[in-house]
Amino acid sequence: MRIHNGTRGYLVALPFHTKRLYLFLASILLLTWANLHGQEIKVEIPSDSVLAITLKEVIVISSFNRALEHKTQHKPLSTLDAYLESSSKLNMVKRGGYAWEPMMNDMSSERLSVTIDGMRIFGACTDKMDPITSYVDVSNLSDVHIASGQHGAEHGAVIGGAIDLKVEKSDFLPKEWNGSVETGGETNNNAQIVGAELNYSDERFYIDSDIIYRKADNYVAGGGEEVAFSQFEKYNFSANAGYKVNKGQKLTATFIFDEARDVGYPALPMDVSLARAFIGSIGWSQQKFLGDWTNWETKLYANTITHIMDDSQRPDVPIRMDMPGWSDTYGYYSQARLKLGQHRLLAKLDGFYNRSLAEMTMYPNNSDEREMFMLTWPDVRTLNSGLYAEDMINFANSSLRLSARLAVQGFNVADEFGLNSLRIFYPEMAQRQTRLLKSVSTQYQKEFEKIQLSTGISYGERAPSVSEGFGFYLFNSFDNHDYIGDPDLQNEKALEVNAKISVPLKKVKLGFEGNYFHTMDYIIGEIDPTLSVMTIGAEGVKVYRNLEYADLYNLTLDAEYEIIPALKATGLISYHRGTDQDGRNLPFISPLAYNVLVQYAKNGFSGSVTMRGAAEQVHFNPEFGEDQTAAYTVFSFSLGKRFSIGNDNLFAKAGVENVFDEFYSTYTDWNNIPRMGRNLFMTLSYAFN
Ligand SMILES: [Cu+2]
């Protein structure tokens, strides 16, 4: 893995730009492709490297560049989840061996935006078994952009931040035919990975395709205990193409098919027999736009997800259940840039329409009793229309970034039966509702002689998620409660302050970063003792409520030391804290955590040693199903070598994870399921040109 820092252009409609902004918006609505003409003009793309200090992190995956991947990635061809886990900004909630859920700034799905090339997608599982990251594979992606807090507002109304998964494209590079085949294996869970890609690209046209297959059995925890129901099987295919209609005018299309079968969730009472996604988009981009506006980019997209969850594989259950879910999303965005003196502006119009439906059918053991049917997500239709603008203003040794998003979000509970079920609790509940979501952000960066400083203040809002607003008896196995949504929840609002100091010395780089989220109307489930449970064995019922406020702090210290040019050591230590207005601990807040990575790379040879660990969890809360997580430290190492065969390259890498076979689980492991014990892995990639 390699981490880049980069800054981007940002925009708020300054008064003297207002006219241009209106012109831009009007044009998106009125223009048709027919009246666009394509003559190439020289335009400067907004610089991506004003100051190398930001709250953004980029994880490079790039399967096109095997040399880079094998040099920098500890474990090439590992799952996307493993790549994401190596990020300094993300933690992964694990419910098993597959489909981990990313968390940023101690916040998960509802408070983040996860997009694929800017496309919004929503999981179809009421139990969060299918984060968006589970519907792509590393073979599809070039890199992952991680933006903290309101820096993620470009992609949607967020509180915690945004993760944008970038699809890998040949992008008209004159490489002609190229491709690769690769295979990998792991000893702990007998994982087998086979993949291939084939690409053609010239200056007029490109088409990229890749396919990957993964299969894993149950994994074994440290000490030798097998974790039952942790198996999975997945295949993924993607193709994307581009055609240059004229100079500076490009037509692009992307398609991803992803299917997982027989996925076990050892931390949950149910498994998934099928999780399938079709993801597609068509894009148009041209360098010249209206007046001085350039880099016009428009995309239309659609995706559909099917999630089939049941307990048919479990030996003893009080009652058999089927819980399928579906999520369809249609959306678009259109954006353009403008460089005006010191200003680099970006204006973006976007929208999506999502349909979320989930059912639960219970089959009593006594066949005389009737089956029970419920809509756990009552066909909720979400329509969101947003306008985003940012301005990056460059001064001599500093820069100022301003951004804002305004969005209108409407909910419609389309199913009468589902609506009437919810009206048992909320008799006055309307079928439709509309919410206004606002976000503003400022970030100031300054470069002193030896020190770089960045500080910002932001405000953002989000609407309740489908589960929080309209969920109907969603069983949470973590705190053993049934959850009911509340359609009258207030929007959650966060005031965010952040600061980062970087001290690049000769051989040592030091960084200190902190952020603080004061979140008003923080949404969380609270016990309602007047309601009785639906799930057999559940302790009680919780209803989503707005807390008065919650405070979240994250502090990180990182260091990088170049021992010799080929040998580099990096280290990171982080502290997190989260409490509500009464000083009560919030759930899923990281204890003190650290990692150290030593990497060597020279002449096609690479090696790495990592140490990851956390201190004992001090702040936890049994009210939310938490218990104390013990301290742990795990070690891994890997060795890699590149072999040149004519024009082609063969990359080999092998390593050992959890070298000392430590038995451990972390604060993000659902119901304390233990993590994988000692694991040997090996990957081989053959890349041809
Ligand atoms: Cu599920």
How does DSSP classify residue 676?
B
Residue 309 Cα to ligand 1 middle (Å): 5
Q: Span 560-586, mean pLDDT?
A: 94
Of the pLDDT bands very low, low, confident and very high (cuts 50, 70, 90), residue 70 is low
Distance from residue 96's CA to the centre of ligand 1 (Å): 12
- The band of 24, judged by pLDDT with boundaries at 50, 70 and 90, is very low
pLDDT at 64: 64
Taking CA atoms, 595 is separated from 161, 428, 613, in Å, by 22, 52, 6
How many Cβ atoms from other residues are within 10 Å of residue 272's Cβ? 26
In DSSP notation, 187-249 reads: SSS--EEEEEEEEEE-SSEEEEEEEEEEEE---BBTTS-B-TT--EEEEEEEEEEEEEEETTE
pLDDT at 40 over 50: no
Give residue 412's pLDDT.
97
Give distance in angstroms: CA of 218 to centre of ligand 1: 19
Look at residue 426 in the predicted model and tell me its pLDDT. Answer: 96
* d(CA 180, ligand 1 centre) in Å: 34
The rounded Å distance from CA 196 to ligand 1 centre is 30
CA of 667 to the centre of ligand 1 (A): 21
- Do the Cβ atoms of 280 and 303 come closer than 8 Å? yes
**C-alpha to C-alpha distance for 620 and 614, rounded to whole angstroms:** 14
pTM assigned to the model: 0.89
- Where exactly are the structural domains of the chain? 3-688
What pLDDT digit, counting tens, does each position of 482-540 carry?
999 999 999 999 999 999 999 988 889 999 999 999 999 999 999 999 998 888 888 99
Res 58: pLDDT: 80
pLDDT at residue 558 above 80?
A: yes
Predicted pLDDT at 45: 29
Classify residue 673 by its DSSP letter: P
In which band, very low, low, confident or very high, does the pLDDT at 318 lie, cut at 50, 70 and 90? confident
Q: For residue 528, what pLDDT is reported?
A: 94
Handedness of CA 154, 156, 158, 162 (dihedral sign): negative
**pLDDT digits 0-9 by tens, 335-374:** 999 999 999 999 999 999 999 999 999 998 887 888 999 9
Contact 201, 209 (CB under 8 A): no
Residue 5: per-residue pLDDT: 36
pLDDT of 95 higher than 80: yes
CA of 127 to the centre of ligand 1 (A): 5
Give the residue-averaged pLDDT of 224-241.
95
- Give residue 75's pLDDT band: very low, low, confident or very high (50, 70, 90): confident
Q: How far is the CA of 299 from the centre of ligand 1 (A)?
A: 30
What CATH number does the domain located at 3-688 have? Answer: 2.40.170.20
State the pLDDT confidence band at 39, using cuts at 50, 70 and 90.
very low
Output the average pLDDT for the chain. 88
Distance of alpha carbon 383 from alpha carbon 385, whole angstroms: 7
The CA distance from 316 to 294, in Å, is 62
Distance 375 CA to ligand 1 centre (A): 14
pLDDT at 59: 77
The helix (run of H) or strand (run of E) holding residue 362 is strand 343-363
Side-chain half-sphere of 160: how many Cα atoms within 13 Å? 20
Average pLDDT over residues 213-227: 95
More confident residue, 649 or 367: 649
